[in-house]
Each structure stands twice: as structure tokens, then as C-alpha cells.
Amino acid sequence: MHRSAALIVALACAFASLPARAETAVIIAPPAAEAPASGNLETAVIAGGCFWGIQAVYQHVKGVTNAVSGYAGGAPTDANYSAVSAGSTGHAEAVKVTFDPKQVSYGKILQIFFSIAHDPTQLNRQGPDSGPQYRSEIFPQSEAQAKTAQDYIAQIETTKVFKKPIVTKTGTMKAAFFPAEAYHQDYATRHPNQPYIVINDAPKVENLKKTFPQVWREAPVLVAQAAQGN
């Protein structure tokens, strides 16, 4: 992916010669049972490849008040891009989604995760990015979230909508989340013409608009805006 500024430029040159990848959404039914919603804002922490694309998708979901790129699953001393890119820290590139359950449910967050945001059958990789830091994982923030996620994966498996088994992990409870460096935040919005974004992430956002129009918001909620509001 993007190990340094120089590598970003190199990747941009490499991807510029490739045709845009035809991303297709896998439409999955919502969870049969929802986690009980509180009356307050809730958080979901999810990982599924490069955090640029995951963040971009949820920034366009109604009811999401913030989506922050970062790291989860490892120690605070390793929560930086240089260390995580080595693939041996235990961290995954993750996104912390803060949402209003009165507007969008945790179940809908997960439905989008499995339908739009990534391919849950890819083990320790996603698209062009490989390594355990790009694994598919849900980091439950409560026992209710853990049960909802586990039950939902079992539900999806019974439908055989995916040809391969789902490899998404759900066992890391309340893992500490560490925001990524500032240059990673709002990356897809700030660099819409970068080939990596055009090929890998823009199609996901477009699929969200087409597949889930009821939760689509045209203007993304940005980390920079959320910080100004605090």
C-alpha cells in the first residue's frame, strides 16, 4: 500500500497504467437480530484492508458522526504506520466508527461492512494489500456487539452468498484503538484522483450509494470537521 511518501508516488505511477477495477457489491441480508441500542452515540471498530477505503465508505453513511482511521489489536508502542506496515505488531489497520443508533444501527454498520466495504473471505489481505495488518476483523465494544457479529457471520455462512468461507475475526474484545497519523485521515476525500483510490476505494463508495440509498449521505463527515466541532 503506502509505506512512505516515495512509495505512494511509485504506486500511483504503477496503478495509472491499470484499468479501473470493476467492483461489485455482494448484497447480504441484515442481521436477523440486532444488538440492543443505547440512547447515546456508539462506536464500532472494524478492519478490512487499507483503512482509507473503510473510512471513506462510512463517512458517507447517515448517522455516522465520525470515522477515524487507526490501528487496533496491538500495543500502544507499535501504533504507528511504520511499525504496523512491518506486519508483526498484531495491529490491524482499522476504523473507529462513531454512530447514532437512532439513525443507523450496529447491524446496518455490519451489513455495509460485509456487503460493500471489503471481501471477508480474503485471509490477511485485501485487494492489492497483503499482510496480517490488512486482515478482516471486528473488534466488539461490548458483549452485545460480539454476539451480534458472531451470529451475523453464522447467518451469512448459511446463505452461501460467498463461495469461500468467511475469515473475519471477532474475538478481540474492546481492543484499544489508536488514531493513525494525520496524513491518513480523510485521505480518499483529499486525494480523489490518486490511482489507488480510484481503483480500490471509489468503487466501494459508489456501491454504497447504489446499494444502500436509504443511508447514503452525499457530503462525507470528515475527521477534520468533527475535530472542529469538539
pLDDT for the residue 34: 84
Is residue 20 situated within a structural domain?
Answer: no
Is residue 25 situated within a structural domain?
Answer: no
- Distance separating alpha carbons of residues 28 and 67, to the nearest angstrom: 23
Range of the domain at 53: 5-9+40-221
**Which are the catalytic amino acids?**
50
Residue 3: pLDDT over 50: no
Is residue 227 situated within a structural domain?
Answer: no
Q: What is the pLDDT of residues 39-93, one digit of tens each?
A: 799 999 999 999 999 999 999 999 999 999 999 999 999 999 999 999 999 999 9
User: The domain spanning residue 180 has which CATH number?
Assistant: 3.30.1060.10
Is residue 226 situated within a structural domain?
Answer: no
Q: Which amino acid is at 115?
A: S
Tell me the backbone φ, ψ of residue 83, rounded to 5 degrees: -70, -45
Domain count of the fold of the chain: 1
Is residue 31 situated within a structural domain?
Answer: no
Mean pLDDT, residues 165-179: 96
Q: What is the pLDDT of residues 118-146, one digit of tens each?
A: 999 999 999 999 999 999 999 999 999 99
- Distance separating alpha carbons of residues 26 and 167, to the nearest angstrom: 16
Bin 82: left if φ > 0, else alpha if -120 < ψ < 50, else beta. Answer: alpha
Is residue 70 situated within a structural domain?
Answer: yes
Is residue 90 situated within a structural domain?
Answer: yes
**Considering only CA atoms, which of 138, 124, 93 is closest in space to residue 3?**
93
Is residue 17 situated within a structural domain?
Answer: no
